[in-house]
Structure 1
Amino acid sequence: MPAESTTPRRLRRLLAFTASAAMSALVAMGAAAPAAAASAAAGVVPGDLGVVGVVAPAARNGSGLTPEATEDGVRVSVAPAGATAVAAGAGIDVVVEVVNRTGEALGAGTIALDVATSALSDAADVDAWSTGDSAERPEARRVAERASASLAAGAATTLTFTIPPDATGESWPAVGVAASLEIDGDTVAASTSVLANSRLPAADPVGLALAYPLTTPPIEEGLIPAERLEAWTAPTGALTRQLEAVSSAAVAIGVDPRIPASIRVLGSSAPQTAVEWLAELERMPNEVFPLAYADADLAAQAQAGLDAPLEPLGFDDAIDPADFTEGGEEDGATASPGRIPDAEALLDWTFTRTDIAWPADDTVASGDLDVFAAGGLTTAILSPGNVEPVEDAVSAGATIDGRAAVVADARVTPALRRAADAASDTEWRAATSRVLAELALAADEGVSTVLGTFGRSGGDGSDRVAATLSALASTPWSQPATLVDTVGAPPVERTLVSTSESQQRLDNVGRMLTAEQAVADFSDVLVDPSVLTAPTRRDLLALLSTGWIPQPTEWTAAVGRWLVDRRAITDAVSVVSSSTVLVVASETGIPITILNALPYPVEVVVSVAPSNGRLIVEDSVDVTVEPETRSTVSVPVAAGVGSGEVNLEVSLASPDGTPIGDAVIVPANVQADWEGVGAAVLAAIAVAVFAIGVLRSVRRRRRDRGAGATGAADAGAAGPAETGAAGPDAEPESRVAFDTAAPEPTETTEERPNG
């Protein structure tokens, strides 16, 4: 099993118990980002497909990536029937679709169809028609009315109309049509469309460059798990649909490097569908450039104070060497068998360019481009809302504050994204026809190159992308242009519209960066710090993904979980609280217990600081604590002056001195003078016991000698009577012999225990 699924899993089990309580606080701290921030990232505008009164962009490269006002209510769409362009001056078949997205049934009414009585010849005419500006809007002619039946909640219906030949002119560049639903005399819903006239091809087609982000739905993991890879690269998976939609089309692809890295890091255990998908990606002839890892939000990083965008720190912790043994199949898109890939090998790709930054829509603020450039991203793809609009027709290439950029077209891009996200064929044809009309007008104005960008859908709506690209490939008003050509074209000086991200979002990003630094500092206790720092960085980048921007509530919750887990890591090595320690010797050791809840051994330095001079700490102690265990170490201390209470502040640090966790107070009771008193008492007791023993021995010896002397005197008195025959003339030797034979008194010493 790969390391990613073992060690981190153990860590997650360890950390899970603290998640619930801290989550609530963190979610409250970082509430949902404002709706405007989410809207800016969605990259969808209303206009001719939405409710009447929604304003479309007025200038060619102005703002225009605002979202739909609502997905609820009654929606009306009008589009060419079975085509994306029309032949003006002839009968034109159009389809009007009504969708009831309310929770109630819709009553019967009337659908009316209007047509502009004059040509839409330029951008101002198109905007006036689309926005319903009464002062500037071309006059309309009602060409048809049809009764509509009642419509159940959630249902949709379509009606076909024919615009008579005399209602349009053969030389019109574009035709304006409008449809409305009236019930009981009130207009319930209405919309407008702009239809390109296929009878008026451009003499000088505009160069159309397209950029598509190949990403995944937002997830919290810095590496895509194998089960998700298998699902997303399946025949109907999100990644497969995206690849099929853009493969071999005239579109530059921004690839999230996390995708190939996640497949390669699994080696022989990677799902076969993922390996085949990666090989197919490598074979594509498209222009390819890298997005930030996990498509991380570049602008948020710059505005959070980073000097350059973050990058992954490594992948060694996620590699299982068993997946790279000899004998496995070798594929050009994956690592060679028998060789453990490093980070460079996992991220390696043959990119067309590697200097392109693609931040989220309308998020770039002043100074951000310099931060991008510090990371080697010297050319930025900017949304039209991030750049001051211009009245004259200009190409996509630009210079902003001395930095190279390409600006997405404010007229083509919104319609392009609506086409890619269309929920029905009618909506798709209406949006695609609008794209073609905008290209026709741009060509007529002499624009050389425009850039259209797809939204970061993560696979949603990719089914319409292929159809949209196919329609654009056959249009007479544009010709394919490469992103490289667009970047390399003579630039136009443009002005940045500084658009900072919400303060709430930046506050949460700041918290994550602080937490990551805390883990980096803490990781010095490990022999290999990368087992903590590398996954922390990858998961941080995953949470910075631009895909989270439209989901502020879900993102805030994910950030809260991540912050709780980081705090649990830095708290995993700590000093275990202790009861009062009694110190009764002038030199001794204080027992300190260290807890290591990590699945790795740690090396820490234990330091003790007494609160007063009653104890003197001689030195700190180095200790190695094995994984998921406790270890007790003795810190040497010496008695100072006097006795009493001392608070010992016990702290941990890494070998290089980085503080680890919080200090713990261990109370101590110092009675070191008891050692001298105790020794004196013991000495006195020993002397007393010895003296008593000697005294008793002397007294017994005296007693025994006294008894011997009395016996001798009695014997001497009885001697003459017993030896009377001898008389005074007896030889003295006989006394000597007696004295010699008489035994000496025996000294007996009774041994008793001392005391």
Structure 2
Amino acid sequence: MSAVEKVGVRRARASLTAAVIFALFGFGAVPAQAASPPTFSVLVPVVASGSASELLAVDELTALISPGGSWAQLTSAAISHGATIAIDSRIIVSIEALGPKAPAFVSAWLNSVTRSRPIYLPWGNADPFVIADSGPSFRVSTIQLSEISGVPSADIIGWPTGRAGDSLSLSIVEKLGFERLIVDDNMFPELPNAYSSEASAAIAEAVAPGSEVNPVAAATLLRESSNSRLTVVLPREPGAIDAKRAVAFLNALDRGSEGLSRFVPAVLTSETIVTFHDVPSASIGSLMFQHRLDRLVSEMALDPRMITTPRLRQLCVVAGLVATSRFPGVVREYARTAKTYEDFVSFSLGSDFTVLANSAELPLTITNTSTTDITVVATVNSLSGIVSIPTPSQTIMIPSGTSAQVTVPMISVANGKTSLRATLTTTSGIPVSEPVYVDIDVQAQWEGITLLTFIAIVSSIMGIGIARTIRDRRRRL
């Protein structure tokens, strides 16, 4: 592209941004002379990238929060101008997990953000309409989000994308604890406190990395063209914000002594009208179906949260990507990395077993690789009548990260070779693994036969000796 063409593109984009702002408020080329200065509510999201790791690494946090880091720049500008910060609760937990190892400036940054009274987003900025798209027992509520983040459930505010939900979703989401939401006037056209989707789209163009639109010019046009209160947001996707451009926009927007007013989430009502578009129903269904399987697997654990918490955190990160082109792929990866019952608990079989008595006990070892104690039911059945199992089922608790042995009593009915079928189930009867088979060789009752044979041999020897003695005496007489 030539230099002349680049200038043309820059002018076209700047003109488009100006046209959006002017069309939004119905003004012509001359800025409105407002009777009173305009007021703005600006939401500045600080959201972690949609990485597969459960927590953010210290290196990533350090790069983003250190002086000059993008989060440090965004939050500093937001706090100084009175904009409202919306922070991903995943960031908070990642910093708190560092404990005393956290760099001092990282802890200081979190303290400053907390003092600014931020809006707390769900883990990974999960779309509440995605995590609500399941059966009643498997929907994710704000209480569960509080359990994985430590943020009080009443303080968690969802931010729907408009790419998930249906006509029944609104009442479901409200019952799950999402009574207040960050919403735009396109998805919720009649809801008070909905932010302007058109103005926010124009801002997104101005603060995007590599954008040709001047963020200062965009803020100036927005400020001079408005004569009322306007609520806007910066882009929710971390990669869609250039921190320096966003800071320049906030500096230019807040020129008056009145500053920016606090962003207030919208309150849902039973009469709220909502519209959805381009919903990837198949991918959302696959995601929440896998969540249901994860929950079922966790039921065998003494503390199910040891299994569900990492998976629920990962689910929320995936749900936060529903409006992106990455969503179908990350859903498939989420399902691929799921662990089944057998990944946590299974039989550890040894060699074949030989039975040399009328009764015996078969030792079976069960291994638990999880981080919590697990209770299962071990059931052993004979595939033939050669042996009998008086007590086929036994409930056993295996401590975390260890193995436990269960002994299965057997009674020999006949000699020969047979197999035993061993299965593991949860206490509610759900199969834990595929059946395993133990080959046994029964050679029972050998003690009795040997004893009788020995007695017979001894008796024969004694009988022969007695007979010879009697015969010798007769000859002497």
- Pick the aligned partner of 2:235 from 449, 455, 458: 455
Matched, 1:514 2:301: no
Question: Which residue does 1:239 correspond to in 2?
Answer: 71
Which letter does structure 2 place at the counterpart of 1:76? G
- CA deviations 1:79-106 (Å, max 9, x no partner) are 6xxxxxxxxxxxxxxxx899xxxxxxxx
- Pick the aligned partner of 1:503 from 256, 281, 300: 281
Preserved contact between residue 82 and residue 259 of structure 2 (Cα < 8 Å): no
- Pick the aligned partner of 1:288 from 102, 107, 118: 118
1:120 to 1:504, Cα distance in 2 relative to 1, 3 A: closer
- Pick the aligned partner of 1:270 from 102, 127, 132: 102
What does 1:519-558 correspond to in 2, within 5 Å?
519-524=297-302, 528-546=303-321, 549-552=323-326, 556=328, 558=330
- Pick the aligned partner of 2:455 from 686, 700, 705: 686
1:245 to 1:487, Cα distance in 2 relative to 1, 3 A: same
Preserved contact between residue 257 and residue 293 of structure 1 (Cα < 8 Å): yes
Matched, 1:371 2:172: yes
1:475 to 1:368, Cα distance in 2 relative to 1, 3 A: farther
Structure 1 Cα separation of the partners of residues 325 and 63 of structure 2: 22
Question: Which residue does 2:58 correspond to in 1?
Answer: 226
Structure 1 Cα separation of the partners of residues 185 and 196 of structure 2: 6
1:670 to 1:406, Cα distance in 2 relative to 1, 3 A: farther
Structure 2 Cα separation of the partners of residues 630 and 487 of structure 1: 53
Which letter does structure 1 place at the counterpart of 2:35? A
Deviation at 1:654, TM superposition (A): 4.8
Which letter does structure 2 place at the counterpart of 1:301? I
Preserved contact between residue 232 and residue 240 of structure 1 (Cα < 8 Å): yes
Which letter does structure 1 place at the counterpart of 2:121? L
Preserved contact between residue 515 and residue 567 of structure 1 (Cα < 8 Å): no
Matched, 1:407 2:407: no
Which letter does structure 2 place at the counterpart of 1:174? G
1:291 to 1:611, Cα distance in 2 relative to 1, 3 A: same
How many aligned positions are there? 466
SS in structure 1 at match of 2:232 = strand
Deviation at 1:212, TM superposition (A): 2.2
Preserved contact between residue 354 and residue 377 of structure 1 (Cα < 8 Å): no
Question: Which residue does 1:123 correspond to in 2?
Answer: 23
Deviation at 1:585, TM superposition (A): 4.1
1:75 to 1:495, Cα distance in 2 relative to 1, 3 A: farther
Question: Which residue does 1:359 correspond to in 2?
Answer: 160
- CA deviations 1:102-149 (Å, max 9, x no partner) are xxxxxxxxxxx9xxxxx99973997xxxxxxxxxxxxxxxxxxxxxxx
Deviation at 1:514, TM superposition (A): 2.9
Question: Which residue does 1:661 correspond to in 2?
Answer: 433
1:601 to 1:681, Cα distance in 2 relative to 1, 3 A: same
Which letter does structure 2 place at the counterpart of 1:299? F
SS in structure 2 at match of 1:248 = helix
1:74 to 1:704, Cα distance in 2 relative to 1, 3 A: farther
What does 1:90-239 correspond to in 2, within 5 Å?
123=23, 173-175=27-29, 197-198=30-31, 200-239=32-71
What does 1:294-305 correspond to in 2, within 5 Å?
294-305=124-135
Identity %: 20
Structure 1 Cα separation of the partners of residues 146 and 28 of structure 2: 53
Deviation at 1:650, TM superposition (A): 0.6
What does 1:668-683 correspond to in 2, within 5 Å?
668=440, 675=445, 679-680=448-449, 682-683=451-452
What does 1:324-723 correspond to in 2, within 5 Å?
344=150, 347=151, 354=155, 356-387=157-188, 398-399=190-191, 406-421=193-208, 423=210, 426-429=213-216, 431-432=218-219, 434-436=221-223, 439-440=225-226, 443=227, 449-458=229-238, 460-474=241-255, 480-484=260-264, 487=266, 495-499=273-277, 501-524=279-302, 528-546=303-321, 549-552=323-326, 556=328, 558-567=330-339, 570-576=342-348, 581-583=353-355, 585-598=357-370, 604-619=376-391, 620-621=393-394, 633-639=406-412, 646-654=418-426, 659-668=431-440, 675=445, 679-680=448-449, 682-700=451-469, 702-703=471-472, 706-707=475-476
Structure 1 Cα separation of the partners of residues 282 and 475 of structure 2: 109
- CA deviations 1:708-732 (Å, max 9, x no partner) are x6xxxxxxxxxxxxxxxxxxxxxxx
- CA deviations 1:351-408 (Å, max 9, x no partner) are xx836432125544322222222232212222333245xxxxxxxxx44xxxxx6322
Structure 2 Cα separation of the partners of residues 125 and 605 of structure 1: 68
Preserved contact between residue 422 and residue 428 of structure 1 (Cα < 8 Å): no
Structure 1 Cα separation of the partners of residues 372 and 238 of structure 2: 36
Q: Which has the higher strand share?
A: 1
Deviation at 1:624, TM superposition (A): 5.8
SS in structure 2 at match of 1:608 = strand
Preserved contact between residue 313 and residue 537 of structure 1 (Cα < 8 Å): no
Give the RMSD, CA atoms, in angstroms.
4.1
1:239 to 1:551, Cα distance in 2 relative to 1, 3 A: farther
Deviation at 1:508, TM superposition (A): 3.4
Unaligned runs of 5+ in 2: none
Matched, 1:258 2:119: no
Structure 1 Cα separation of the partners of residues 198 and 92 of structure 2: 34
Deviation at 1:637, TM superposition (A): 1.8
Task: Find the structure with the greater CA-based Rg.
Answer: 1
Preserved contact between residue 303 and residue 500 of structure 1 (Cα < 8 Å): no
Preserved contact between residue 213 and residue 255 of structure 1 (Cα < 8 Å): yes
Structure 2 Cα separation of the partners of residues 422 and 580 of structure 1: 66
Q: Which moved more, 1:687-696 or 1:420-429?
A: 420-429
1:693 to 1:494, Cα distance in 2 relative to 1, 3 A: closer
